[in-house]
């Protein structure tokens, strides 16, 4: 639906693909006097890929981390699959099991093999048998293209391979949603595409994803919706086609003019 005079470019749920999975309502967060999330209202629909972009310090990573409560919020509500995000305890642990997270750094256990890294949570949290967890783990390592590395240790893999292990580890839990917080920013340039290719494949398969990234090519290719953030606010929300060809706000126009020059 194209925005109209009564439906501005920042209106929410511009491309519904399914019922809402994540709903953020009037979410605010402060670090002291710094207002890092400012009245955030948005929805992520089931099967949707939402890419969050914006200048450094705009609140992108804080928003991503708030969705599984790695960051607390001061006011507002976040619901996942109809349940309000719990503040602590077993309910929070259960919710985190349903929400995968992939960080800039790979956070693999250095003393465990690749397969052991991928099977640890399904065994401990999902209570799968080792056999079932290893079968699932090998499927996911195959899915990200590194099944042949299963017996190796993390230090024996390249950065791109380690990040693909981190994605496989998230997938092994059968999450409802995966959050990816600048997953390629710590990688050497030649390794970025191998990780982006996996992410594009997940998007095509219908995985619900919220991705904080500087990779505009990925946003154009895989996103259903772009959120542009500045100073803790969602300044603009649109389809990739509309955002990249006809940004509506001065902040977005300025941001795109700087990054698309290079």
In a domain, 20, yes or no: no
CB distance 168 to 146 below 8 Å: yes
CATH number, position 144: 3.40.50.300
In a domain, 182, yes or no: yes
pTM of the model: 0.89
Number of domains in the chain: 1
Domain limits at 115?
31-251
In a domain, 123, yes or no: yes
Phi, psi of 31 (to 5 degrees): -110, 95
In a domain, 3, yes or no: no
In a domain, 247, yes or no: yes
Q: What angle do CA 212, 218, 219 make, to 5 degrees?
A: 65
Instruction: Please tell me which of 3-12, 23-32, 76-85 the model is most confident about, judged by mean pLDDT.
Output: 23-32
Going by DSSP bridges, is the β-strand pair 83-84/75-80 parallel, antiparallel, or unpaired? antiparallel
Give me the half-sphere count of Cα atoms (radius 13 Å) on the Cβ side of residue 157.
28
In a domain, 131, yes or no: yes
Largest CA distance in the chain: 58
Q: Using one digit for the tens of pLDDT, what is the confidence trace for 91-120?
A: 888 888 899 999 999 899 999 999 999 999
In a domain, 24, yes or no: no
Q: What is the mean pLDDT of residues 171-178?
A: 95
Question: CA-CA distance, 142 to 9, in Å (whole number)?
Answer: 40
Q: Using one digit for the tens of pLDDT, what is the confidence trace for 143-165?
A: 999 999 999 999 999 999 999 99
In a domain, 53, yes or no: yes
pLDDT value of residue 94: 82
Question: CA-CA distance, 196 to 193, in Å (whole number)?
Answer: 5
Q: Tell me, what DSSP letter sits at residue 145?
A: T
pLDDT value of residue 17: 55
pLDDT value of residue 16: 47
- Res 65 pLDDT > 60: yes
């Amino acid at each position: 639906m194209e925005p109209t005079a009564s439906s501005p470019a920042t209106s929410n749920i511009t491309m519904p693909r399914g019922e809402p999975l994540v709903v953020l309502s009037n979410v605010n967060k402060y670090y002291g006097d710094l207002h890092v999330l400012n009245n955030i209202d948005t929805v992520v629909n089931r099967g949707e890929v939402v890419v969050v972009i914006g200048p450094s310090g705009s609140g992108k990573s804080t928003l991503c981390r708030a969705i599984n409560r790695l960051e607390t919020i001061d006011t507002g509500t976040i619901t996942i699959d109809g349940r309000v995000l719990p503040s602590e305890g077993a309910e929070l642990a259960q919710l985190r099991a349903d929400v995968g997270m992939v960080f800039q750094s790979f956070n693999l256990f250095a003393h465990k093999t690749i397969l052991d890294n991928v099977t640890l949570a399904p065994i401990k949290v999902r209570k799968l048998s080792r056999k079932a967890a290893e079968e699932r783990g090998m499927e996911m390592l195959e899915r990200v293209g590194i099944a042949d590395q299963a017996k190796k240790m993390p230090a024996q893999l390249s950065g791109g391979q380690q990040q693909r292990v981190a994605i496989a580890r998230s997938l092994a839990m059968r999450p409802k949603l995966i959050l990816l917080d600048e997953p390629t920013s710590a990688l050497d340039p030649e390794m970025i595409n191998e990780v982006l290719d996996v992410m594009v494949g997940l998007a095509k398969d219908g995985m619900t994803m919220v991705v904080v990234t500087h990779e505009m090519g990925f946003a154009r290719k895989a996103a259903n919706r772009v959120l542009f953030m500045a100073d803790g606010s969602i300044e603009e929300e649109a389809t990739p086609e509309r955002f990249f060809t006809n940004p509506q706000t001065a902040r977005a126009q300025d941001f795109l003019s700087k990054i698309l020059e290079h």
